[in-house]
Structures are given as structure tokens and as C-alpha cells.
Structure 1
Amino acid sequence: MNETQPTAEELSQHSLRTFKGIEVGLGQADPIATIAAKLEEQYPGHLILVQAGKFLHGYDRSAYALAILKKYQLKLVGTAAEPHIRVGFPVGNFKRRLWTVVEEFGIPYAVALGTLAIGRTIYVSSQPTGNSQVLESVLPNVIADVIDDLKQRGEVNKAAAQQLLTNPDNTSFQLKTKAKELDLQLLQDIIKMPRDLRATYGENLRVCIGRILRGAMAYGLEDNKPQLLKSISADVDMLKHYLAQAPRLNGLKLAFEHRAGLAVELGKLVGGLIRLQGVQP
């Protein structure tokens, strides 16, 4: 029996890629989780965090502890065969962030900073009264239950999205709601901007979100919905472009990640509506 191997062109054409801002979810192994597991064996009972880019990630037992004690949001990552729960926060000032965990709950921590290329440095808390027994109370079955719960929520969200797209009236309401929420958040940001940024950068944001909001308001009565949705989608992309500039502007304090997250959610809804319009007769 002869086996035909795919060509380099076919591999490139059909390979699965991930793009910044798009979460694949379950389906891709997380190498940082393996590092965290090894550190957990080396430092039992410690809160384990590993640097990944500009963020620190905690997995499974550590993630669960931070979610319960500090209200960090859990995310389901890894493969279907080896799922993990994860939390993350910016790496800057991590000692100040984690000190409350040590001070209030007596949980010691071990943080791995660096990368595979340059090597990793392990920082272990020097709290003499660290209580390593706290994390040991988080049993594996607890983590498994949380993972199952997150999987079920994902299925519920998919079903809700499908229902949303098949109900035009509800879709129009959701489109308006998300657009108005983003408009309000950006308006609050623009008001707080320095005058020069408000007159330039802020004006770009206002014009862009204004077009998005007008399109959302007109969606319910629009005859040519596909064209209107494409226009809204282009404006959402423009808005995400402007939001991506925020971290590089001096003197600008903007909750970039939250605002960008709202824009991404709005873009997903608009994209789903475009696909729905494309299959309708």
C-alpha cells in the first residue's frame, strides 16, 4: 500500500493557524502548563505562576485558588484529552499582586520569569509563615468539576449564539446593546483624555463608534442588511485598529484590554450575522 505525503504547499494551505485576538480554545496543547506542573512538583503547596509573554499564567490548582480568593477569571485551555484551567495577569509588579495572597491566606508562591530562549529565573516567596497546606486542599476532582463546568458553559454559549442568530428581533436588540455599551465606555474614556489627545485620537474614536452605533440602530429597518453589516464590520475593524494604538500613546490611560474585548465581541456578532445573511435565500 502506497502512502502519499502532503506537499509543502498543501501543508501550508491546510495547516491550522491561530491569530492574535482569536482564541482557538480546546484543541491546542499549552506548553506553559507542562512547565507549571514540573514547578508544582518541585514546590508543593506553592502558588505556581509562569511567564508567557507579558503575562503570568497560573494553571489548575493555582488558577482555581486565584479565581476563588482573588476573583480572577478562569479560562479553559489545552487539548480535549488534557484540558487545563488557567488565569493570567500582567507580569509587572507581580510581587505586589501576590503579596496579599501571602499576607491574607498564608499561601507561598513560586514565579518563573523569562523564556525558553533566555532561560527562566524562579522567584520563591520568603514568607516564613507560608501555609503550604492550603493549596493541597484543592483536590484533583475539584479541578475536574470546574473543567466540566466550563465545557458545559461553552456548549450553552454556542447554543445561545445559534438561537440569537436565528431570531432577528433579538439579534437587533443585542446588536444595539453591545454597540451602546461600547459607546458609553469609550465616551467615559474620551472625557478623561488630555485635551490634545481628545481632539485627535479621541475624535477618531468618536467618529468610528458613531458610525457603528448608527448602523446598529438602523439594522432592524434596513432592507439591504448584508451591505449594512459589512459597513459596520469595517468600522469595528477600524475601531480595533485605533484601540491597538492606545498602549503606544503617551499620557493616555485607557482600559485597552476591556475596550478591545467589547469590540471583539461586537465584531463576532456582526460576523455571525453576515454569515447568516449569506446562507439565507
Structure 2
Amino acid sequence: MTDTQTPSETERQQLAIRRVRGVELGLGTADPSAVTAARIEAQYPTHLVLVQAGKFLHAYDRSAYALHVLKKYRLKLVGATGEPHIRAGMPAGNFKRRLWSMVAECGIPYVVALGTQATGHTLYVSDQPTGNAAVLAAVSPDVVQQVIEDLRQREALNTAAARDLLAQPDNAGFRLKAHAQDLDTALLQDIVKLPRDLRNTYGENLRTVMARIMLAVFAFGLEDNKPALLRALSADVDLLKHHIAQAPRLSQVRIAFEHRAGLAVELGRLVGGLLRAYEARS
């Protein structure tokens, strides 16, 4: 992590954050980060627990659900079939701004594990004297299990919807095209309102990747190798989500972030469902 991402000594003193070096966090069989988070949670049962995975911090199960309830973070079902987990995530570079506000608003302390599975982690532990233990205590294992089952059912419905689309190829192309067109129009409205320098930099990034997405969805109906097209389209949708996620950190960018991000996520789900269904048939 860079100096700008790591709490300064003054900040640690103000928020009672202590640093614990050399914590080794071994690998798990299904999801190493989930195993890591569970080990830390056993030591800090009243804290939100987040573990670094590349450029993101991931919270699992109780902590993930708390983030979902308190701050509307999106939940994702991850892990092996026999060992599922719910997960929420945020960019690692923003963890101070995001989590310190949660400490201030809700009184919930946190543990952030920065590092890698290979080299070990450094824990940043926020000790909140008036820690609100009741919030996490209310998230029982039964609650987590119920959320996992709900997400499983939703995934099954999404898969069934994708199969229905495959049974009607014309409808699949129409749905894909219609959703991409809505996103393209919304982003175009945002780009034209940007200041000139941002329109030529940030706006150009959006336009370039969105142009590839639109070309792919218009080619979908007549494409012979649809799985290959969908894989390329999925990568472009992920890149677009990355660019949209930059918007809140650019001071002069004013877009309806939640709406645009929601459209991009939904397009990614549609593409992913179609890709899985095509691969299952082959």
C-alpha cells in the first residue's frame, strides 16, 4: 500500500488504531480470503472484518451482511458449492474514508487485513471505545444461511432466465441489445455534460469501451461463435464497470452513479448468464 492509503501515525492515535505485523493467514480449500476472515473474526468478534484481495477489500458472511444493511453494499455468493459464503467488497484504496465514516455513524470498529496470502498480512485494528457490538451480534449464523439460500435461488432463477433466452435466440438478442442501448444512452447524456478536459479523457474511456459493447451486442444475433463473443463482451462490461466506479473519485464528474452502475451490473449478469448457458450446452 502507498503512504496515502496507509493511516498516518496521527490518524492512528486519533482513532485508536493499532498495527499488528506478521500475521500469517494460510490458504483454505474453497476461498482463502473467507478462511482468513473467519480466523480474524474469531479473534475480533465485535469488529467488521475485511481482507485485501488484489485492489479490493472483501468482507464475508456477518461483516458482508452488516455492510449490506448499513451501507447497501451489494452481496455476492462465492465459494465452493459445499462451502458457500456471502461477500461484499470495496476498493482497498478507499477503506479509510468509507470505514471511518461507519465508525463515526454506527460506532462499529473494524479490522482490515492488508497484504497477500503468500506474504502474510498486516492488520489495522480500529478500537472504538463505544463499539456497537449489537449490530454484528444480530447477524446470527441462521441469518447468514438464509441470505445464502436466497442468493442461491436468485442465481437459479437467473440461470433459468438465460436458458429461456437461449430457447428463443431472437429474444436473447433483443434483450441484450435493449439493455445495452439504455446504458449507452444514459452514459452519452453524462459525457456531454462533462467539462472539456474530462470529456476528452474520462469521457473518451467510457465512449471507447461502450462502442465495443454496442458493436458486440449488434453482432450477437448473427455470430457463429457466440461463447467467444460473449467472453469478449463480458471483459468489456467489466472494464466499463471499472470506469464507472471511478466517477465518485473525480470531483468534477456528476453522474447518476447508482443508476449507471446498476445498468452495467445488470448487463454483466445478462451476459454472464448467457455465457454459462452456452458453455453448458457445448
Superposition pairs of residues 63-102 of structure 1, within 5 angstroms: 63-102=64-103
TM-score where L is the length of structure 2: 0.67
* Cα deviation 1:89-118 (Å, max 9, x = unaligned): 011231221123222322221111122344
User: Which residue pairs with 1:30 in the alignment?
Assistant: 31
Q: Contact 2:37/2:49 (CA < 8 Å) preserved in 1?
A: yes
Give 1:126 shift.
2.9
Give 1:69 shift.
1.1
User: Which residue pairs with 2:223 in the alignment?
Assistant: 226
User: Which residue pairs with 1:44 in the alignment?
Assistant: 45
Asked whether 1:125 is paired with 2:126, we answer yes
- The one-letter code sitting in structure 2 at the alignment partner of 1:63 is A
Asked whether 1:155 is paired with 2:152, we answer no
Q: C-alpha separation between the residues in 1 aligned to 2:136 and 2:239?
A: 42
Superposition pairs of residues 184-195 of structure 1, within 5 angstroms: 184-192=185-193, 195=196
**Do the aligned partners of residues 39 and 242 (structure 1) sit closer, same or farther apart at CA in structure 2, a change above 3 Å counting?**
closer
Question: Rg: which structure is higher?
Answer: 1
User: Which residue pairs with 2:172 in the alignment?
Assistant: 171
Structure 1 unmatched ranges of 5 or more: 1-27
Q: C-alpha separation between the residues in 2 aligned to 1:118 and 1:175?
A: 43
Identity value in percent: 51
Q: C-alpha separation between the residues in 2 aligned to 1:200 and 1:133?
A: 46
Q: Contact 1:211/1:235 (CA < 8 Å) preserved in 2?
A: no
Give 1:81 shift.
1.8
How many residue pairs were aligned?
A: 243
Give 1:261 shift.
4.6
SS at match of 1:40: helix
Give 1:63 shift.
0.8
Asked whether 1:108 is paired with 2:106, we answer no
Q: C-alpha separation between the residues in 1 aligned to 2:205 and 2:114?
A: 38
Q: C-alpha separation between the residues in 1 aligned to 2:194 and 2:151?
A: 38
**Do the aligned partners of residues 265 and 37 (structure 1) sit closer, same or farther apart at CA in structure 2, a change above 3 Å counting?**
closer
Bigger drift between 150-159 and 123-132 goes to 123-132
Q: C-alpha separation between the residues in 2 aligned to 1:234 and 1:41?
A: 39
**Do the aligned partners of residues 82 and 53 (structure 1) sit closer, same or farther apart at CA in structure 2, a change above 3 Å counting?**
same
Q: C-alpha separation between the residues in 2 aligned to 1:98 and 1:182?
A: 30
Q: C-alpha separation between the residues in 2 aligned to 1:148 and 1:234?
A: 28
- The one-letter code sitting in structure 1 at the alignment partner of 2:110 is Y
Q: C-alpha separation between the residues in 2 aligned to 1:231 and 1:77?
A: 24
Q: Contact 2:209/2:240 (CA < 8 Å) preserved in 1?
A: no
